[in-house]
Amino acid sequence: MKPLLTDYTLAELEDLFGQLGEPAFRARQVYGFLQKGLDFEGMANIGKALREKLEANAAAQGASICKTLVSPLDGTEKYLFALRDGNIVEGVFMRYHYGNTLCISTQVGCRMGCAFCASTLEGCVRDLSPGEMLSEVLTVDALHRQGDKRGVTNVVLMGSGEPLDNYANVLKFLRLLSAPEGICISLRNVSLSTCGLVDGIDRLAEENLGLTLSISLHAPTNEQRSALMPVNRRWPLEQLLPACKRYEQRTGRRIVFEYALIEGKNTDLRDAERLAALVRGLRCHVNLIPVNLVKERGLHPPKQAGIEAFEQRLKELHVSVTRRREMGDDIGGACGQLRRSHLEQSAKNGSPTP
């Protein structure tokens, strides 16, 4: 497969252009166009001969939007991104008062096997490259950009895949995303969500990038968590929580714990009390998420009264807590739902979808 230009830093792109016999200033021109989400045909002041040379030797963007769903309730937009090899991944664009957040995918599928997630139902097909992840951002930013005002101001790595299972590519993506000569999104506006790969958390802490670490916790005991998240059998709470403490101490950044409320699994008030005891002593915030219904899993969110009671008990125990604003529920906003429905429809139609 041809090299993907969004995989390259500006310095690397200049080197590549040198190998093609082109001057460095041309590389800088092309780099600028790439950061606007453009493909070769959109590079207006690049000569036809150079564009043809580039097309023969490389690809510009690694992801393009092939399907968009827009929620009539809150304006949330969900995308299917087509990759060059025919695979597809998802992204979700959400508008908040502080800016526009894009949730991106880091892998095609996921190998972690969490019981409440549709992304993992077919396992992990492959990792995304740094440029493919960046293209998700650049494509959506171009769609919503208004002049010099960026269309995407915040990025969360919470879509399909486990970011720390694709560590090297994710790390380079973060450097590309925050490069001052590129789209230049501050890593303080980036959140990375992990199911709890302790070795990856410790490596990320040493990078001291300034991003927010979100931990998919979802249960206050090993027994409950292992039933929902197989990763807990490898990295139990006795190892995960100290790693979170090390991250907080090394980076000075507050940890966010994601807690999916699943009826009959983790929503008893005693669970709230165990959760409060578990995170005590950590500078952290708990984000409550009524679980999205995934029909293959048979898991359901609690009723409104149960959600409110759980949240109130945490507040009584002096835990910083909010309930995540539910966005995009009407368009399959949860991880993997749109991709899975696309795969099912393709199978019905006999389409050769990966």
- Which CATH number belongs to the domain containing residue 327 in this structure? 3.20.20.70
Domain count of the chain?
A: 2
- The residues annotated with a catalytic role in the active site are 90, 335
Compare 324 and 6 and report the one with higher pLDDT.
6
Confidence of residue 298 (pLDDT cuts 50, 70, 90): confident
> What is d(CA 99, CA 95) in angstroms, rounded to the nearest whole number?
6
> What is d(CA 280, CA 293) in angstroms, rounded to the nearest whole number?
30
Is residue 267 within 8 A of residue 306, CB to CB? The reply is: yes
Q: Are residues 22 and 88 in the same domain?
A: no
| Per-residue model confidence (pLDDT) at position 118 | 83
Q: Inform me whether the pLDDT recorded for 345 exceeds 70.
A: no
Mean pLDDT of 216-223: 98
Return the ∠ at Cα 126 (arms to 52 and 130), rounded to 5°: 55
> What is d(CA 189, CA 259) in angstroms, rounded to the nearest whole number?
21
Residue 354: inside a domain: no
Is residue 187 within 8 A of residue 209, CB to CB? The reply is: yes
Nearest by Cα to 63 from 92, 88, 42, 41: 88
Mapping DSSP to helix (H, G, I), strand (E, B) and coil, where does residue 284 land?
A: strand
> What is d(CA 46, CA 30) in angstroms, rounded to the nearest whole number?
8
Can you give the pTM of this predicted structure?
A: 0.91
Q: Inform me whether the pLDDT recorded for 333 exceeds 70.
A: no
| Per-residue model confidence (pLDDT) at position 354 | 46
Q: Are residues 135 and 152 in the same domain?
A: yes
Residue 334: inside a domain: yes
Q: Are residues 132 and 52 in the same domain?
A: no
Compare 35 and 330 and report the one with higher pLDDT.
35
> Residue 23's domain spans which residues?
5-57
Q: Are residues 142 and 13 in the same domain?
A: no
Return the ∠ at Cα 175 (arms to 44 and 15), rounded to 5°: 55
